[in-house]
A and B are shown apart, each in its own frame.
Chain A
Amino acid sequence: MNATALRSAATVVALSMQEGIRRRVFLAVLVLTLAFLGLYALGAHFAFRDVDEFAAGETEILDPHAFTGATIFGLAMFATLFLGAVLAVFLTLGVVRGDAESGLLQPIVVRPIGRTTMLLARFAGAALLSAAYVVVVYLAAWAITKATGDWSPDHLLGPALGLALAVAIIAALSLLASTVLSVTAQGIVVFMVFGAGLTAGLLAQIGNAINSDSLHTIGRVASWALPFEGLYAAGLHALISGTSGLTGVVLQLGPFGGSEAAGPELIAWAFLYLLGILALAAFVFSRRDL
C-alpha cells in the first residue's frame, strides 16, 4: 500500500469515526452508558455495604469483598460487552449495501482508494471507536468497584483487551453481513449471532454447574465458532484466576462457572478469525455490482 492509499484510508477512517460520533445511536449509547455506570456505582455501594454487615466475623472462610467485587464486576463486564456490541453493530449498519442503495458509497468507491481499502478503513473506524468505548467503560466500572469496595480483579488489562478484540470481531461480522444484507436484516442477524454466542456461554456455565460434559463441550465449541464469546469468558476467568479457597470455589458456581483462561490458541484463533471474516467481506464486496 503506497502513501496515497494510506492517506486515503486514513481519510475514510476519520470520516467513519466522525460519522459514527455524529450518529444518534452514539449519543443514545453514551446516555445509556452514563445511566449504567450511575446504577452500577449505586449497586456496588450497597452491595459492598450489605455484604460487610452480612459477613461480619466470617471473613476467614469466605472473602465477601472478593466475592461481591468479582460478581458485580463480572456483571459490569457483561453489560460493557453488550453495549460495545450495540455500538459496533450500529456503527457498521448499512456500510455496504445500505450505503450503496442510498448512493453514498459510489462517489467514494470510484476513487483510487479501492474497495478493499475502503472496507478495511470503515472497519477500522468502527472497531477503533467500539474498542475504545469498551476499554473506557470497563476501566470506569473498575474505578467504581475500587472506590466503593476497594476490590480489584486479579488481572485488570487482559480482560479489557479481550473485550476490545471481542467488539472488533462483532464489528467485522456486522461488516460482512452488510455486504449481502439490507440494513434491517443485517442488524437482526448480527444480534442473533451475538445472542447465540452468549447463550452458548450460558450453556457452558450450566454444564459446568451440573457437571454435564455435553453442555460443556457445546459451550466450548461455540466459544471457538464465535470467539467473541470465548474472549469474554476468558476475561471473566482472568478476573478471578488468582482467587483461591472457598471464595474461588463459590465464584466458580456462579457466573464464572465454565469460564476458561485465554490460552495463546484462543488469542491466535481470534485474530485469524477476524482476518478471515474481513477477507471474506472484502471478497464479497469486490464481486458486488454497485
Chain B
Amino acid sequence: MAAPVLAVSQLHKRYGRQEALAGVDLEVEAGQLVGLLGPNGAGKSTLTKIACGLVRPSAGTVEVLGRRAGSPQARAALGYLAELFRFPGWLSAAELLRFHQRLVGSDGGAAERRALLDLVELGDAADKRVEAMSKGMQQRLGIAQALVGSPRLLLLDEPTSALDPVGRRIVRELLEELRGRGVSVLLNSHLLSEVELICDHVAIIARGRLVRAGTPQELAGPGAVVVETGSGVRSFEGAGREEAPAIVAELVAAGESVYRVEVQHSSLEDVYLEAVGGQTG
C-alpha cells in the first residue's frame, strides 16, 4: 500500500497554556479529498499550518510524502491557500502566477498560467490587477496560485468563505477535477453541505482532538426505520435500509397493517453537532 500523501501522528501544539492540538492522527491518501470540520478555534487551521511549515508542532510528527512537514521537499510537494491571505495589489493575475512559478521552479510558462486561470474561470482576468478584483475573484486566484507547479497535496483553509454560490460551485467542480487527476486535498471548511457533497473522507476536530472520522456515509450512518402501521407510527432507532424488509415482515406476521415505511439517515450536520457537543468558537 502506498504511503499516505499527508500523515499526521500524535500531533500536539501548545500556545502558551492553551492546547490547540492534543494528539491528532490523520492521513490523507493519494487522490483523496478530506474535509476537516470543527468549530472556530478547534485547531483546524493550526493543523493545516503545521502541515505546510508555517507553525512548529510542540510534539508529534507531520509528513508530506514521507518528508518532514516544513522541509523544502515537503513544501515543494504542496500548494496552500490560507484563510487570511493577501497578494500584492499592484500585480496582475498573470504576474502573480509567474512570481509563484519562479518560486517553485515551475517551467510551465504562459501555458500553465493560462490553464490555471481558465481552471478557476479567471481566463479573462489575466491582466487584471489583484487590487481591482473582488474578494471572490481573489480567492479563486488564490486557488490557482496554490496549484502552481502541480502540487501533489493541496491544503485549502476555508477556500469558499468569500465566494457566492456560483463561485462555490466552480471550486467544487475544480476540487472534483483535481481528485480525478490524483491530487490529494485537505479542505478546511465550515460548510457542512459542501464537505458532504464532495469529500471522500471527513474528520471532525473539537478542542484540539479528532472526535470523529470516516466517509460521509459512515459518519451519517443509519438513523432509523419509521413504519406507519394500523396501530400508529413506530420508529426502530439505529436500524438501516438493510433491516427494513425484516422489520416489515415481522410487523405483518404480528398482524399489523403497514401503510408506509421510511428509512431515515442522520445528516452530517447531526453527526457534527453531536461530535462537537454544541461547541462554537
Contact = CB atoms under 8 A, between A and B. Distances in A.
B49 interface: yes
Contacts of A189: none
B80 A106 contact: yes
Given A8-B102, A11-B99, A11-B102, A290 B76 contact: no
Contacts of B90: 19, 22
Using C-beta atoms within 8 Å of the partner chain, give the interface range for chain B. 20 to 34
B34 interface: no
Interface string A102-139: 11101111111110000000000000000000000000
B84 interface: yes
B52 interface: yes
B153 to A, nearest CB: 11
B52 A110 contact: yes
Interface in A1-40: 4, 7-8, 11-12, 15, 19, 22
Contacts of B15: 289
Given A8-B102, A289-B56, A290-B54, A107 B80 contact: yes
Contact of B103 (A8, A104, A289, A290): A8
A112 B105 contact: yes
B87 interface: yes
B72 A114 contact: yes
Residue of A7, A102, A113 ringed by the most chain B CB atoms within 10 A: A113
B259 interface: no
A104 B86 contact: yes
Contact of A111 (B49, B85, B103): B103
Contact of A289 (B54, B80, B84, B88): B54
A3 to B, nearest CB: 9
Given A8-B105, A15-B88, A110 B53 contact: yes
Contacts of A7: 102, 105
B78 interface: yes
Contacts of B190: none
A69 B87 CA distance: 48
Given A111-B103, A114-B72, A290-B49, A104 B88 contact: yes
